[in-house]
């Protein structure tokens, strides 16, 4: 197995034969960029990426609702229910 050292410069040849260089990262982009509190930021980014967003169906409301969520006519309300 080939061990990788963080910060190591490597070389690769692209499809058209040009040699390119890249630097091996640490696995934490925030640490690599020198951002404050990189571990905390990485955990927040991972939690955000893991969150599964499920869009709610849109409803066109043409009369005010009792809940006050979407009122007036016409409004496009995401996640609203028809009353």
Task: With respect to residue 31, please indicate whether it lies within any of the assigned structural domains.
Answer: yes
Shared domain check, 56 and 35: no
Tokens of 1: 């197995």
pLDDT per position as a tens digit, 32-83: 999 999 999 999 999 988 887 777 776 666 665 565 555 555 555 555 554 4
Instruction: List, in order, residues 6 or more apart from 81 with CB less than 8 Å away.
Output: 59
Look at residue 65 and give its three-state secondary structure. Answer: coil
Domain span holding position 14? 1-39
Contact (CB, 8 A) for 56 and 33: no
For the chain, counts of helices (H) and of strands (E): 2, 4
pTM (whole model) above 0.85: no
Work out how many domains the chain is built from and give that number.
2
Residue-level pLDDT at 12: 92
Partner residues linked to 76 by β-bridges: 60
Residue-level pLDDT at 72: 52
Q: Read off φ and ψ for residue 76, nearest 5 degrees.
A: -100, 115
Task: With respect to residue 71, please indicate whether it lies within any of the assigned structural domains.
Answer: yes
């Amino acid at each position: 197995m080939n061990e990788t050292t963080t910060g190591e410069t490597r070389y690769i040849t692209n499809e058209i034969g040009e040699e390119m260089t890249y630097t091996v990262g640490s696995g934490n982009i925030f640490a690599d960029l020198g951002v404050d509190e990189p571990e905390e930021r990485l955990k927040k980014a991972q939690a955000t990426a893991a969150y599964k967003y499920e869009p709610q169906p849109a409803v066109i409301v043409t009369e005010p609702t009792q809940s006050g969520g979407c009122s007036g006519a016409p409004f496009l309300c995401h996640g609203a229910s028809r009353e």
